[in-house]
Structure 1
Amino acid sequence: MKRVVVVGAGFGGLAAARALRERGPKEMDILLISPKPELLYYPGLIWIPTRLRSPDDLRIPLGRFLDKYRIRHIPETVTGLKDQGRTVLTDKGQYVNDALLIATGSASLRKLPGIEHSRSICQGIADAVDIRDRIAAMTSGTIALGFAGNPQESSAVRGGPVFELLFGLDTWLRKTGRRDRIALTFFSPAAEPGNRLGPKAVKNLLAEMARRNIPTHLGSRLQAFSAEGVSTEGEKFPADLIVFTPGLRGPEWLSETGLPLSPGGFIRAERTCQVEGWPGTFVAGDCGSYPGPDWMPKQGHSADLQAETAAGNILDFLKGRKGIRTFRVELVCVVDSFDSGTLVYRTPTRNVLLQNPLFHHAKAYFERRYLARYR
């Protein structure tokens, strides 16, 4: 009986495990290794500060999903690999496999002096709740929202949720009659923040900030955060609350595995999602570095596409064949603003930007449909 180990219970890991069970032989043993049998729906974190979502809405227990697809969950944390991926090491044991999929996500570059004075909407439930509670306690002041990238890896940036929270807070504060007392400001070391969404999107985003009376601080390297505000190479500006999403980096546990890593610490993979030079070892989602355009996104949709590709190629590998499937490169997102949204779609040949209140409802509908498969 063949055994496939999947490491990570996020978008990529769960999509791959499901695809393996649906397409693979019934007797195949599928092990899913993650600290908890739980999915955290990260895209919904933007709605916690404005109370459109609660933490329990976004934490999905996986017991029914695991039973339905006959997937064995191992509640452990991966710490390393040996035998070129054929053995996975955890904090409690080791697991031999015939094929391996790594989908453990990314980590954050939290090296900026004073980073402890900021919160990130992409970090998890605790930060999102703290942002919510601190805003609720504000009677006046300034909220500074921003993001940065990884200088060593152009794709290792996550700015979309920051734009969404920025515009969502503006809308919500106006609806609740507090916007005149709470100022919003946006900052980024990039001169054109959001350029991975395409030239149209950058122009649209900056115009929207101007329309909403949101000052910007762009193109100057960040130096430090403090309880008083933000310092860059060019200026200092005050903030009572700093919401900042740093650039991404590869997970720390990868560094001693011998896996081929990119400059940013991500696993180098082929377009087939196989790790370079490691037959039978595949990667999906944010922890991978893939061939393609520099705007290739790190987002849940991409992780799903990569997971489907990896699953098909894993099944070919187990049959003694070289998998040749490749994943589709595209960016699809809705930049939400609490009661409206802007659809951004990008491929190597197209870049579409559409704004409509219906896209807010479409984003919520997609969330319900997506999570239904794991509830």
Structure 2
Amino acid sequence: MASDADQQIPEQQSTGPAPGQGRRKPRIVIVGGGHVGLTVAMRLQKQLEPGEARITVIDPQSHMTYQPFLPEAAAGSIEPRHIVVPLRQTLRRSEVLTAQVTCIDHGKRELTATLADGTEEHVTFDVLVVVPGSVSKALPIPGLSERGVGFKTIGEAIYLRNHVLSRLDIAASTSDATLRRRLLTFVFIGGGYAGIEAMAELESMSREAVRSYRTLDTGDMRWILIEATGRIMPEVSAPMGEYTRRRLEERGIEVKTDTTAKSLTGGHVVLSDGDEFDADTIAWTAGVKPHPMLEDSDLPRDGRGRVECTPKLQVRGTEDVFAAGDCAAVPDLTSDDADALCSPSAQHAVRQARVLADNVVASLRGHELRDYRHRHAGSVAGLGLFQGAAEVYGIKLKGLPAWLLHRVYHLAKLPTLRLKARILGDWLMELPLSRQTVALGELHDPRAEFVRAANTRGLPSEHGRAG
């Protein structure tokens, strides 16, 4: 494959033997440009000598999204562009290929990538880093694929924001009580961090937006959180989970545990507890699964579809393939259970990325690799403006202190100084100025007005012109 990476990485000028001198530069291919893949690539760029190796990052998107800030971007506290990192702009010493990996053949040291135009390209590697992350784990619930919206991408977050606000606009303009009740019913399925933070931020935004409508009141809205297990927020202790539940219920949010959705057909929600109602907004945040791309590979995987790894983050049975993050089954060396694996959390993923990059460098230089070992420090969650819940090293924080810790922690974890400055600016501007709560529906259908105008004037369609 042609690459400009060699031109971007100047050869080392030295009278002594340079790394890689007299032989072909080894190629490191990173599958996945998310938080883990970006962290690995940035660390490799920093640690590798110029000309020591060639780095290629492959991802369907040309940017990385910092997912912990998706709820705030959806609520309007952060400009959506400020939570994405352009890969090419950040990885100037790496080659970035915008494509979807469809097959990994470790035996041939080759993978197949499908470009945006549909053509396939075969990419060879010397060292492979498999970090494609995860995708939403949908269940075979009738109506879910037609009515449900996930919450893992910037596009989904922006869509939900506009969708929720547009429901308020329509509800304020109709005298149909049944339609209004449907429009103002918002359902989130999944009581983990993703679901609770997304719902809490959007409910907080909607509560603020309703003040601008003379015909609407906060009591007109119905927000429902559905969780299949007996508690919400399993990432924290049971008391902190119960505290979060109480805070949500104090805001009028219905929290239904030990409950599943049986049907969502046509927006008519049928729950296992017998409750039935109509809803125009259904968000699905009930878990994730490893990227399906891994199914077409010859790498060993466990029963949940994750790549089996050693404590050194090498894929089991290989020396030249590494994995980390949501798609990797990594032994938890801090647990007393010999079979324990690291949880699929952002905290583990980013720390694994650093060790993985160090081990790749060590393997290229013939040095000893080190094990990944990290005891879970705790969790922080934002529950809307000025509200939060946190449990860090056994210390429990609630309300404003937890909300501040949530913001400070994630601001520190952002990968570039540029993003840190932009997001800090967004927060400072939010203090004296209220959030803009307006739906921009044309973002999702930009040609609607043009098509309507063209049809009104009787302009020929593409089919008419073709005929």
Matches within 5 A, 1:166-181: 166-176=199-209, 177=211, 178-181=217-220
Asked if the contact 2:244–2:389 (Cα under 8 Å) also holds between the matched residues in 1, the reply is no
8 Å CA contact 1:200, 1:353 repeated in 2? no
Unaligned runs of 5+ in 2: 1-24, 115-119, 172-179, 212-216, 420-467
Aligned-partner SS, 2:256: strand
Are 1:38 and 2:63 counterparts?
yes
Tell me the residue number matched to 2:148.
Answer: 118
**Alpha-carbon separation, structure 1, partners of 2:395 and 2:330:** 23
The residue aligned with 2:285 is 245
Which of 127, 142, 145 aligns to 1:99? It is 127
2:43 equivalent to 1:14: no
Distance (whole Å) between structure 2 residues aligned to residue 5 and residue 341 of structure 1: 42
SS at match of 2:313: coil
Contact 1:64 1:374 in 2 (8 A): no
1:194 maps to what in 2? Answer: 233
Taking the TM superposition and a 5 Å limit, the aligned residue runs for 1:217-366 are 217-238=256-277, 239-292=279-332, 296-330=342-376, 332-345=378-391, 350-365=393-408
Match of 1:151 in 2: none
Instruction: Tell me if the contact between 1:192 and 1:202 (Cα under 8 Å) persists in the aligned partners.
Output: yes
Indicate the residue corresponding to 1:372 in structure 2: 416
Distance 1:318 1:295, change over 3 A: closer
Q: How many angstroms apart in 1 are the aligned matches of 2:296 and 2:123?
A: 18
Distance 2:63 2:236 in 1: 30
**More relative contact order in 1 or in 2 (CA 8 Å, sep 6+)?**
1
Match of 1:88 among 104, 111, 120: 111
The change in CA–CA distance for 1:300 and 1:85 in structure 2 (over 3 A counts) is: farther
Greater share of strand: 1
The number of residue pairs the alignment matches comes to: 359
Distance in 2 between the 1:374 and 1:14 partners? 15
Would the alpha carbon gap of residues 170 and 107 (structure 1) be closer, same or farther in structure 2, given more than 3 Å must change? closer
Tell me the distance in 2 between the aligned counterparts of 1:305 and 1:31. 21
C-alpha separation in 1, matches of 2:409 and 2:28? 29
Distance 1:81 1:188, change over 3 A: same
Quick one: which amino acid aligns to residue 24 of structure 1? L
**Higher helix residue share:** 2
Q: What TM-score, normalized to structure 1?
A: 0.86
Structure 1 pair 242/44, CA: closer, same or farther in 2 (3 Å)?
same
- Percent identity reads 19
CA shift for structure 1 position 324: 2.4
Q: How far is 1:359 from its partner?
A: 4.5
**How much has 1:173 moved relative to structure 2?**
3.2
Moved more, 23-32 or 320-329: 320-329
- The 2-side partners of 1:305 and 1:360 are apart by 23
Unaligned runs of 5+ in 1: 149-158
Aligned residue for 2:253?
A: 214
Q: 1:56 aligns with which of 81, 87, 96?
A: 81
Give SS of 2:37's match: helix
Superposed CA RMSD: 2.5
Q: Is the 8 A contact 1:198 1:351 kept in 2?
A: no
SS of 1:26 mapped into structure 2: coil
Equivalent-residue separation in structure 2 for 1:306 and 1:225 (angstroms)? 38
> Residue 186 of structure 2 corresponds to which residue in structure 1?
143
1:232-278 Cα distance to aligned partner (Å, 9 max, x none): 33323323311221321222221121211122211111222111112
CA distance in 1 between counterparts of 2:142 and 2:394 reads: 37
Shift of residue 161 of structure 1?
2.2
Compared CA separation, residues 84 and 316, structure 1 to 2 (3 A): farther
Aligned residues of 2:379 and 2:391 also touching (Cα < 8 A)? yes
Distance 2:271 2:151 in 1: 21
Counterpart CA distance in 2 for 1:109 and 1:36 is: 20
* Among 160, 171, 175, the residue aligned to 1:131: 160
1:26 corresponds to 2:73: no
TM-aligned CA distance change 1:230 to 1:18, over 3 Å:
same
Amino acid at match of 2:319: P
In the other structure, the counterpart of 1:74 is: 97
Letter matched to residue 38 of structure 1? H
Other structure's SS at 2:61 match: coil
**How far apart, in 1, do the equivalents of 2:101 and 2:32 lie?**
9
Structure having the higher Rg:
2
Task: Give a deviation string over 1:146-176, Cα, whole Å, max 9, x none.
Answer: 217xxxxxxxxxx212111222233333333
Letter in structure 1 aligned against 2:345: Q
CA displacement, residues 279-316 of structure 1 (integer Å, 9 cap, x when unaligned): 22111211112223679443333221010111111122
Q: CA contact under 8 A between 1:197 and 1:331: conserved in structure 2?
A: no
Aligned-residue offset at 1:209: 2.3
User: Which residue identity lines up with residue 100 of structure 1 in the other structure?
Assistant: L
